[in-house]
Structure 1
Amino acid sequence: MVAASVDTNADDEHDPEGATIAFERSQIGALVRQVRSSLAEVDAAVERLEAGTYGVCEVCGAPIGDGRLEARPVARTCIRCAAAGR
């Protein structure tokens, strides 16, 4: 994004054609943070798998249901604890 904007008009705030470069950079930054967060969740799930604790609720110790793990493979809590905000 930064490299692509080198040859563009620096006065993007007055560009009638659309969003500003700052807005686009902000959107890209948010996407990068979201992907990094998702990757960290996957890495943590892999660590739980290797430790033998994957599929066990981190709050109450009960098994996390297969349906929940199918829908959200990185789940750390059972549906009951998740619903309770724990």
Structure 2
Amino acid sequence: MDAYLRLEDERAETLHRLANLTDDFQAIVAASKDTNADDEHDPEGATIAFERSQVSTLVRDAQRHLAEIDAAVERLEAGTYGVCERCGQPIGDGRLEARPVARLCIRCAEKR
């Protein structure tokens, strides 16, 4: 698959996941407004706080992944996509297929 198409597919999947997570987060916040849950003293409040925190983390992860996709598209446009940022060697096709936003070849990524 063409690198640009792969990145566009990755973007579409990430945007879909982000939309679902945002909906989930808003539903959790709305549900907590309808309760008198005290996060510190009510057993149910701790669950709501945990869910809110967990979904919030997943939203941030999806947003970071979108930024990685944007950076990969910029590398593609600059002609540096698929070139390891550390050693300058090509990043293997298998690695790019599994992780289209990869900045490092597998050898350099293992050294991290």
CA distance in 2, matches of 1:65, 1:4: 47
Structure 1's unaligned 5+ residue stretches are none
Q: Which has the higher contact order (CA 8 A, sep 6+)?
A: 2
Structure 2 residue runs without a partner (length 5+): 1-27
Q: CA RMSD in A?
A: 1.8
Where does residue 14 of structure 1 map in the other structure?
A: 42
More helix by share: 2
Question: TM-score, length-normalised on structure 1?
Answer: 0.84
Match of 1:5 in 2: 32
Question: Which residue of 46, 51, 56 corresponds with 2:78?
Answer: 51
2:107 aligned to which of 70, 80, 83: 80
- CA deviation vs aligned residue, 1:6-60 (integer Å, no higher than 9, x gap): 2123245434x69621111111111111111111111111111111110000011
Question: Share of identical aligned residues, percent?
Answer: 76
- Partners of 2:95 and 2:30 lie apart in 1 by 42
Structure 2 contact 38–45 (Cα < 8 Å) conserved: no
Q: How many residues align?
A: 84
Bigger-Rg structure (1/2): 1
Q: Quick one: which of 56, 66, 82 aligns to 1:39?
A: 66
CA distance in 2, matches of 1:43, 1:24: 29
